C-alpha cells in the first residue's frame, strides 16, 4: 500500500501506571494479609476470605500480570485453609 | 476490703454454675444415695430388726402412727434395697420377709418412681458432632467458590462472543479503509494479523494503520467485568454499559490547531475536569447544541465559535442526532495529552507531550445486558469516525481563527512557565549547591595537604570571579536605569 503503516503502540494505561485499575494488586495484598492472619491466629474464616481474595485478584488481573505472583498468592491461601483444618478439624461457627 | 469480698463473691458465681452443670450430668443424688447404701444396708437390717419388735409389741393402739412409721421406714428401706438391688445385682435379694411388715401397702412404686430422676437428654454441641451437617459453613464457602468459577467462565465467554461479533461486523469497513488491520507489536514486520488483540478478559484492542492523513487508529473494546462475580453484583446496584473507545492519531500536517468536544453533558463536565487540553483551552461550560439541531442530551465544548461552526456540518449533525443514545463523547484536539497527570510539587518542569488526536467514546446499547446484535449496531458509528478523519483534514481555520488559536496556545505555555518558574529556579539552585558540596567533599577527602591547599585556592578564585561578575551586572543595570 502507498501509505506507511505505523506499528502498534500500547495504550496509555500500559505506560502510565497511575491510570491502571488497582483492583488486582489490592486483592493480592489483602489475600496475603488474610492468609497470614488465618495461619497465625488459627482463624478459619480468615483463610476462606483469603481464598476468595486470590480468586478475585485472578479474575481482575491484567495481561501483563505475573502468573507466578498469582499462583503464589493462591497457593498461600489454600495452604492457610488446609492448615486451619488440620489444626482444628471442627467446623467453622457462624459469626452470629 | 469490701471490694475484695465482692470480687470473691463474683468469682464464686461462675464456679457454682460450673458445679451445677456437673450435677446435671452426674445425678449427684443417686450417687449420694448409693454411698449411703454402702453403709446404710447394714443400718437398715438393724433398723428392721429394731422396728420389727415394736410392731409386734404394739398392736392397734397407734395404728396410724405405726402405719406411717412403718411405711416411712419401709419406704426408705425399700428404696435402699432397690438401689442396692439394681446396683449390686442379686446378692441381697430378700433380706427381709414380707410377713414381718403388717399393713404394708403398695405405695412405694409411685413414690419410687417419683423420687427417681428423669433421664435428661442433653444436646451435644455442634462442634463435637461428626456429621456432614455440622460443616454447613464450609459447604457454603465451597459452593460460593464454585459459583465464582462458573461466573468467571460464563462471563469470559460472553465478552469473547461480543468482541468477535463486533469484529466480524466491522471487519469489512476497516479493511477497506486501512491497509493494516490488527497488529500486536510483536512481529518484526508490519503485517495484518486480522485479529483482535486480547489484553485481558474484558479489554480487546485493535490497531489499524495505513490510511491517508492518520498515523493510526487504536480501537479498544472496554467490556464490563463480567468474569468477576463481585463486579456483576455491584452492577446490579449501579447499571453500567460496555464502551468502545476509538483513538485516531492524526499526522501533524493533516490537522489544524483547535480543541473541540461534543457529547453528553455529564461526560463533558467530567472530561473538562479530567482532560489536560479541555481544561486549558475550553474554559466555558458545555453549551447546548440546540442551535444546530442537536438533541438536548448532547452538549458542546469548544475553543472558539468558529470551530463549532466548522465542525457542525449537515452530515455530522445527522450522525450525532441519529446515534445520540450511543455517543458518550467525541473529542478533536491538537493539544491532546490525555488526562491531567497528578504530579507532585516541584516535578512539573516540562509540558506533557501532545499529539493531534480524535477521540471517540461510544456506549454499547443494552446497558450491561448486551447481545451480539447490540455490538453490530455500532457499525454506523465507525462510518462517522472515518468521516471525521476526512473532515478534520479538510477543516482549516481562517486567518482570524488561526491568530486566536496561536494566541491561546502561547498563553497556555506562558502560564505553565510562570507556574513552574519558581520550581525551575529551585531546581537550578539545588543543582548548584550539590556541585559545591561535591567539590568541598573532594577537597576534604584529598589526603595530600599540598593538593588540598591548591584545590582550595582554585575554588576561592572561582568564587571571587563569580562575585565580580555579579557586581558588574548590577552596575550595568544601575547605569541602564539611570
**How, if at all, do strands B180-181 and B287-288 pair?**
unpaired
CB B355 within 8 A of CB B278: no
Q: Is residue A39 part of a domain?
A: yes
Scan for cell 442396692, then name that residue.
B84
| Same domain? B150 vs B295 | yes
* B174 phi-psi bin (left φ>0, alpha ψ -120 to 50, beta other): alpha
Size of interface A-B (CB pairs under 8 A): 89
Name the residue among B141, B207, B215 with its Cβ closest to that of A48. Answer: B141
- The residue written with cell numbers 558588574 in the block is B472
Task: Identify whether A56 is part of a domain.
Answer: yes
Percent of residues in chain B assigned helix, strand, coil, to nearest 5: 60, 15, 25
Assigned domain for A42 exists: yes
Does a structural domain hold residue B93? no
Are residues B356 and B413 part of one domain? no
- A73-94 burial code (b ≥16 CB/10 A, e <16): bbebbeebbeebeeeeeebbee
Classify residue A78: in a domain, yes or no.
no
Give the model's confidence band at B388: pLDDT under 50 very low, under 70 low, under 90 confident, else very high. Answer: very high
Are residues B343 and B433 part of one domain? no
Q: Is the pLDDT of residue B425 over 50?
A: yes
Does residue B89 belong to any structural domain of this protein?
no
Does residue B248 share a domain with residue B388? Answer: yes
In a domain, A52, yes or no: yes
- A85, part of any domain: no
B37 in any annotated domain: no
Give the integer Cα–Cα distance in Å for A40 and A46.
Answer: 10
- Residues B410, B355, single domain; the answer is no
Distance CA B339, CA B341 (A): 6
pLDDT at B142: 95
DSSP codes of every residue in B151-212: HHHHHHHHHHHHHHHHHHHHHHHHHHH-SEE---S-SSS-----S-EEEETTEEEEEEE-BT
B475 within some domain: yes
Q: How does residue B70 score in pLDDT terms, banded at 50, 70 and 90?
A: very low
All cell numbers assigned to A23: 483492583
Domain residue limits at B438: 406-445
Q: How far is CA B255 from CA B352, B353, B404, B412, in A?
A: 20, 17, 16, 20
Q: Do B145 and A19 touch (CB under 8 A)?
A: no
**Are B84 and B76 in contact, with CB atoms under 8 Å apart?**
no
Which chain A residues have a beta carbon less than 8 Å from that of B343? none
* Axis-axis angle for helices B229-237, B136-177 (nearest 10): 80
Q: Evaluate whether residue A80 is within a structural domain.
A: no
Confidence (pLDDT) at B140: 92
- Output phi, psi for B236, to 5 deg: -70, -30
Q: Answer whether residue B343 shows pLDDT above 80.
A: no
The more confident residue out of B64 and B225 is: B225
Cα maximum dimension of chain B:
155
Q: Are residues B207 and B171 in the same domain?
A: yes
* B213 band by pLDDT with thresholds 50, 70 and 90: confident
- Regarding whether B472 and B428 lie in a shared domain, the answer is no
Residue B122 falls inside a structural domain: no
Radius of gyration for chain B, computed over Cα atoms and rounded to the nearest angstrom? 49
**B476 and B438 inside one domain:** no
Hey, are the CB atoms on A60 and B228 less than 8 Å from each other?
Answer: yes
All three cell numbers of B16: 457454682
Count of domains observed in chain A: 1
Percentage, residues of chain B above pLDDT 70: 73
Q: How many domains does chain B have?
A: 3
Q: What is the pLDDT of residues B136-155, one digit of tens each?
A: 889 999 999 999 999 999 99
- Whose CA is closest to B106, among B71, B56, B65? B71
Mean pLDDT calculated for residue range B131-135: 81
Question: Smallest Cα–Cα separation from A62: which of B245, B199, B183, B228?
Answer: B199
Q: Which of B364, B397, B430 is the last residue in one of the domains?
A: B397
Mean local confidence (pLDDT), B453-463:
86
In the stretch 20-49 of chain A, residues with CB closer than 8 A to chain B read: 48
Are residues B391 and B457 located together in one domain of the fold? Answer: no
pLDDT reported for residue A21: 83
Examine residue B40 and state whether it is found in any structural domain, yes or no: no
Which cell goes with B84?
Answer: 442396692
Both B357 and B453 in one domain: the answer is no
CB contact under 8 A, A92 and B137: yes
Secondary structure (3-state) at A61 = coil
- pLDDT, position B424: 82
Is B201–A59 a contact, with Cβ atoms under 8 angstroms apart?
yes
Q: Do B414 and B455 share a domain, yes or no?
A: no
Asked if B338 lies within 8 A of A11 by C-beta distance, the reply is no
Task: Write out pLDDT tens, residues B73-91.
Answer: 444 444 444 444 444 444 4
A92/B198 Cβ within 8 A? no
Average pLDDT rounded to a whole number, residues B99-122 = 63
Beta bridge partners of B363: B243
Task: Answer whether residue B381 is part of any domain.
Answer: yes
pLDDT in tens, B236-271: 999 999 999 999 999 999 999 999 999 999 999 999
**Which residues in chain B are contacts of A62 at CB distance < 8 A?**
199-200
pLDDT one-digit tens code per residue, B286-312: 999 888 999 999 999 999 889 999 999
Q: Which site among A1, A2, A4, A6 would you substitute to test the B interface, given the most B Cβ atoms closer than 10 Å to its Cβ?
A: A6
Domain presence at residue B193? yes
pLDDT at B65: 47
Whether the complex's predicted ipTM surpasses the cut of 0.85: yes
**Owner of C-alpha cell 427381709:** B96
Query: What is the span of the domain harbouring residue A54?
Result: 21-60
* CB contact (8 A) between residue B180 and residue A5: yes
What does chain A come to in residues? Answer: 96
| Model-wide pTM > 0.90 | no
User: Are B421 and B382 in a shared domain?
Assistant: no
The mean-pLDDT minimum among A51-55, A87-91, B161-165, B436-440 falls in: A87-91
Amino acid at each position: 500500500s502507498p501509505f506507511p503503516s505505523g506499528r502498534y503502540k500500547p495504550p496509555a494505561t500500559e505506560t502510565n501506571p497511575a491510570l491502571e485499575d488497582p483492583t488486582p494488586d489490592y486483592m493480592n495484598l489483602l489475600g496475603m494479609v488474610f492468609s497470614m492472619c488465618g495461619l497465625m491466629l488459627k482463624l478459619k474464616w480468615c483463610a476462606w476470605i483469603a481464598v476468595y481474595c486470590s480468586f478475585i485478584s485472578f479474575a481482575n488481573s491484567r495481561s501483563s500480570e505475573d502468573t507466578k505472583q498469582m499462583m503464589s498468592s493462591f497457593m498461600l491461601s489454600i495452604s492457610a485453609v488446609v492448615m486451619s483444618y488440620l489444626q482444628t478439624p471442627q467446623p467453622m461457627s457462624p459469626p452470629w | 476490703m469490701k471490694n475484695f469480698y465482692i470480687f470473691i463473691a463474683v468469682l464464686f458465681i461462675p464456679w457454682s454454675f460450673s458445679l451445677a452443670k456437673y450435677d446435671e450430668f452426674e445425678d449427684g443424688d443417686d450417687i449420694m444415695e448409693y454411698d449411703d447404701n454402702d453403709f446404710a444396708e447394714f443400718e437398715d437390717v438393724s433398723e428392721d430388726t429394731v422396728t420389727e419388735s415394736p410392731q409386734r409389741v404394739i398392736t392397734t393402739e397407734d395404728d396410724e402412727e405405726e402405719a406411717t412409721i412403718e411405711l416411712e421406714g419401709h419406704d426408705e428401706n425399700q428404696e435402699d434395697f432397690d438401689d442396692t438391688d439394681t446396683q449390686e445385682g442379686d446378692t441381697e435379694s430378700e433380706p427381709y420377709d414380707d410377713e414381718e411388715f403388717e399393713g404394708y401397702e403398695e405405695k412405694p412404686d409411685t413414690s419410687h418412681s417419683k423420687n427417681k430422676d428423669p433421664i435428661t437428654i442433653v444436646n451435644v454441641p455442634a462442634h463435637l458432632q461428626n456429621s456432614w451437617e455440622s460443616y454447613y459453613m464450609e459447604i457454603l464457602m465451597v459452593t460460593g467458590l464454585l459459583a465464582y468459577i462458573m461466573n468467571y467462565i460464563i462471563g469470559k465467554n460472553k465478552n469473547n462472543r461480543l468482541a468477535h461479533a463486533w469484529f466480524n461486523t466491522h471487519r469489512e469497513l476497516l479493511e477497506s479503509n486501512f491497509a493494516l488491520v490488527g497488529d500486536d507489536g510483536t512481529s518484526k514486520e508490519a503485517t495484518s494479523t486480522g485479529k483482535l488483540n486480547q489484553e485481558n478478559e474484558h479489554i480487546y484492542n485493535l490497531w489499524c494503520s495505513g490510511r491517508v492523513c492518520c498515523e493510526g487508529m487504536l480501537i479498544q473494546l472496554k467490556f464490563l467485568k463480567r468474569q468477576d462475580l463481585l463486579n456483576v453484583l455491584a452492577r446490579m446496584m449501579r447499571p453500567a454499559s460496555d464502551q468502545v473507545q476509538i483513538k485516531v492519531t492524526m499526522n501533524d500536517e493533516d490537522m489544524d490547531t483547535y480543541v473541540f468536544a461534543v457529547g453528553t453533558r455529564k461526560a463533558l463536565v467530567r472530561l473538562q475536569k479530567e482532560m489536560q487540553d479541555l481544561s486549558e483551552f475550553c474554559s466555558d461550560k458545555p453549551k447546548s447544541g440546540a442551535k444546530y439541531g442537536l438533541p438536548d442530551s448532547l452538549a458542546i465544548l469548544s475553543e472558539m465559535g468558529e470551530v463549532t461552526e466548522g465542525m457542525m456540518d449537515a452530515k455530522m449533525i445527522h450522525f450525532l442526532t441519529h446515534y445520540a443514545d450511543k455517543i458518550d463523547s467525541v473529542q478533536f484536539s491538537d493539544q491532546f495529552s490525555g488526562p491531567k497527570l497528578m504530579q507532585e510539587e516541584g516535578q512539573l518542569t516540562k509540558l506533557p507531550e501532545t499529539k493531534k488526536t480524535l477521540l471517540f467514546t461510544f456506549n454499547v446499547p443494552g446497558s450491561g445486558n448486551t447481545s451480539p446484535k447490540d455490538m453490530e449496531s455500532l457499525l454506523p458509528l465507525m462510518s462517522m469516525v472515518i468521516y471525521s478523519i476526512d473532515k478534520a483534514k479538510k477543516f482549516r481555520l481562517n486567518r482570524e481563527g488561526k491568530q486566536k488559536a496561536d494566541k491561546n496556545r502561547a498563553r497556555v505555555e506562558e502560564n505553565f512557565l510562570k507556574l513552574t518558574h519558581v520550581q525551575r529556579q529551585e531546581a537550578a539552585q539545588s543543582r548548584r549547591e550539590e556541585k559545591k558540596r561535591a567539590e568541598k567533599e573532594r577537597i576534604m577527602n584529598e589526603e595530600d595537604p599540598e593538593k588540598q591547599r591548591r584545590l582550595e585556592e582554585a575554588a576561592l578564585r572561582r568564587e571571587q570571579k563569580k562575585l565580580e561578575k555579579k557586581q558588574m551586572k548590577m552596575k550595568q543595570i544601575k547605569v541602564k536605569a539611570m
